Structure 1
Amino acid sequence: MDPLLTARRLAAQFAQTAIERDAAGGTPKTERDALRHSGLLALSIPRELGGLGGNWRQTLTVVRELAKVDSAVAHVFGFHHLMLATVRLFARESQWQPWFEHTARQQWFWGNALNPLDTRTVVARVNGQRVFTGQKSFCSGARDSQRLIASAVDPAAGGKLLIAAIPSDRAGITLHGDWDNIGQRQTDSGSATFDHVRVEDDELLLDPGPLSTPFACLRPLIAQLHFAHVFLGLTEGALEQACHYTRTQSRPWLRATVEHAYQDPYVLRHYGEFWVALEGVRLLVERAAEQLDLAWAQGPALSAEQRGALAVSIATAKVAASRTGLDICNRLFEVTGARATQASLRLDRYWRNLRVQSLHDPVDYKLQEVGDWALNGVVPVPSFYG
């Protein structure tokens, strides 16, 4: 199986309904099932555990390919692999290996209910057993999933964050269909309610635990690079659509001295700027993915300095992908013309999707970290956001 060819086949299929699904919102059930049947949910799982044995560059390239036509589906697919990385990095081998095997064999989809900034879900002891109770926001991909990565704070331990891998259909979990934002409308990033949800001891990710070692601190960097790949793929898709429209539909301005819009020197200038900026993002993102694979291969031997240098590289790529993407997705109407704003085309979805996702964490703080590295040689302090 060639994962990239499979992704391209799926992307061609998803593109046929992307406009309508963007308008409708909700769960992309058909597309999620297609990903299940494709085998790509096992892409990052080692071969000896039933997976495809893909590295991070291959996995994130698939995210990028899907994002060209459907950044919401690319988001939940990438988050699935991020959740697998979470259990790999935070849990014992005796925990994550069986989870990986079940995922590959049973086509589990993993969803997210880990939001460290949302501390409304708390841990309590009931009859000697831990239970999670409270609300959680931004639960991307949680609906139509088989496993959830969920977090809660433990007041008895001074507000310590506990993270667990639990069945999505466990009693007490309610996943709300209340995600109705202007972009990324099919990521199911709505809220969840935990009502005395039982959490078994062997479902807690305690050894080595969250952000406990430089290797465990790769988890937030994988998340950041995932977003960079979504942004890059989304922007590449937007540019492809703009090029097609300019060549086939756009009309030259009345003062232009050319027969076709694609011959207009001002239009060509815009496309030249788009291309130069996007080529820079491609190089940054691809370099960061190569560096992530090198860091991943180090395993527990990864040093804090190596992790810090990778954090700078990924932050650089993410900032560039975010800024360039927003610029191109906004300016594409300058090279397509007024008729390209008709609602049926929904070319605005590229900007809307990128704008919503790029607010996941402020670019200004990424730039501050990169600036401190560039000026003072200070590596970023690990957190759940980088």
Structure 2
Amino acid sequence: QRLYLGAFVERQLSSGAIAERSGTFRGDIHTRLERNGERLVLNGSKFYSTGCLFADLLKVQAVDEDGHAVYVILPADTPGISMLDDWDGMGQRVTASGSTLLENVSVRPEQVIPLAQWYQRRNYVGASAQLIHCAIDIGIGLAALDDAVLWARTGSRPVRESGVDQARNDPYILHTVGDLAARIHGAEALMEKAAGAVDLAARSQLQGLAQGAELEEILVRASIAVAEAKIASTRAALHVCERLYEVGGAATTQSRYNFDRHWRNARTHTTHDALAYKYKAIGDYLLNGNAPPIAFTY
């Protein structure tokens, strides 16, 4: 805590080198932290390393010799780390989500953070992480809504049969903007509700305000609330970013306006999780009383 929270206070940036392309299942980690004589060494590769090219500290997920998950926190300039600016996704282009190569990287014991406890017992961390993803998607949708409103006021022309001389008075443009606002603000409200559930879950667990079955239920409800918000934020962001074009017509497709970045960003970011399993988790909880998996995605 002194080492890393202190670094953040000093405005050092941290980012994660987590996901890999190897393995049978999404989320499989093959980067290894092993002993080599008296040294700990880290070897592996990461396919998505969002923000790492901008970061002072890298949070690398690995497995140790016992197969337990760990984070290894390393300065970005540590010998043996190579970061590639090879991210070529259609959206999120400025996130620097390139590859990270780790070749016999020397690691000190204080740079290793065990993760086993977060996989072995239910906790609030997965819901908290997912809440951040909800906020990103909603932020994209709100930006698209702002562009739609500004375009309707200043850039769009009404069709002749509308009977009005300004697009801002066209009933169908008004309807479209109203639809966009309702969708994204509805998702925003659901996210804020979920944030309250996560806050309660975190305080209950960290401060010992609840124990046993009571704590379990608080944590499960937080995960379910965030799953609902994740569904809403994904659907709303994609909807708003697509229907933006109905406000302005063909002129909005000109590359100089770059309005397509909203949809590209939303579509790219919302593929991080299998949304169908959010629906499944909610339904299984409500119908059968089954809790979602203990994972960073719930």
**Taking structure 2 as the reference length, what is the TM-score of the superposition?**
0.90
Distance in structure 2 (CA, Å) of the matches to 1:144 and 1:259 = 48
1:190 and 2:98 are equivalent in the alignment? yes
In structure 2, what is the equivalent of residue 139 of structure 1?
Answer: 49
Which residue matches 1:99? Answer: 4
Name the CA distance, whole Å, in 2 between partners of 1:299 and 1:219: 11
Secondary structure of the structure 2 residue equivalent to 1:170: coil
Larger mean CA deviation between 272-281 and 354-363 belongs to 272-281
Once the 2 structures are TM-superposed, how far is the Cα of residue 102 of structure 1 from its aligned partner?
A: 2.5
How much has 1:241 moved relative to structure 2?
0.8
Amino acid at match of 1:114: I
Partners of 1:120 and 1:136 within 8 A in 2: no
Counterpart Cα distance in 2 of 1:284 and 1:384: 20
1:268 aligned partner, one-letter code: L
Question: Residue 245 of structure 1 corresponds to which residue in structure 2?
Answer: 151
Are residue 206 (structure 1) and residue 206 (structure 2) matched?
Answer: no
* CA distance, structure 1, for counterparts of residue 54 and residue 177 of structure 2: 40
Q: Confirm whether residue 362 of structure 1 aligns to residue 274 of structure 2.
A: yes
TM-superposed CA distance for 1:118, in Å, is 4.6
Residue 267 (structure 1) aligns with:
173
- Report the residue type matching 2:200 in the other structure: L
**Structure 2: runs of 5 or more not aligned:** 21-26
- The Cα shift of 1:147 comes to 1.2
**Residue 350 of structure 1: CA displacement?**
0.5
1:61 match: none
Q: Which amino acid aligns with 2:201?
A: A
Q: Within 5 Å, which residues of 2 pair with 1:1-386?
A: 96-105=1-10, 107-115=11-19, 117-154=27-64, 156-157=65-66, 159-206=67-114, 209-214=117-122, 217-300=123-206, 301=208, 303-386=215-298
Structure 2 counterpart SS, 1:335: helix
Match of 2:24 in 1: none
Indicate the structure (1 or 2) with the bigger Cα radius of gyration. Answer: 2
Identity of aligned residues (%): 31
Q: Is the 8 A contact 2:71 2:115 kept in 1?
A: no
Q: Which amino acid aligns with 2:60?
A: A
What are the superposed Cα offsets for residues 134-153 of structure 1, whole Å, 9 maximum, x if unpaired? Answer: 11121111112121111123
Q: State the AA in 2 paired with 1:162.
A: V
C-alpha change, 1:131 and 1:240, in structure 2 (3 Å) is: same
Matched-pair contact (CA < 8 Å) for 2:200–2:218: no
Q: TM-score, normalised by structure 1?
A: 0.70
* Cα displacement (A) at 1:369: 0.7
Looking at structure 2, the residues matched to 238 and 327 of structure 1 have their Cα atoms a distance apart, in angstroms, of: 10
- Whether the 8 Å contact between 1:311 and 1:380 is mirrored in structure 2 is yes
**Partner-residue secondary structure (3-state), 1:150:** strand
Q: Measured at CA, do residues 98 and 162 of structure 1 come closer, stay the same or move farther in structure 2, by a change above 3 Å?
A: closer
Mapped contact 2:183–2:240 kept (Cα < 8 A): no
Distance 1:309 1:110 in 2: 30
Report how far residue 314 of structure 1 moved: 0.6
Mapped partners of 1:113, 1:252: distance in 2: 49
Deviations 1:127-169 (A, max 9, x none): 1322111111211111121211111234x42x33222222221
1:221, CA displacement in angstroms? 1.6
Amino acid at match of 1:244: L
CA RMSD of aligned residues (A): 1.8
| C-alpha distance 210-308 of structure 1, shift in aligned 2 (>3 A) | same
Structure 1 position 296, deviation (Å): 2.0
Unmatched 5+ stretches in structure 1 = 1-95
Q: Report if the CA contact (8 A) 2:135-2:191 is conserved.
A: yes
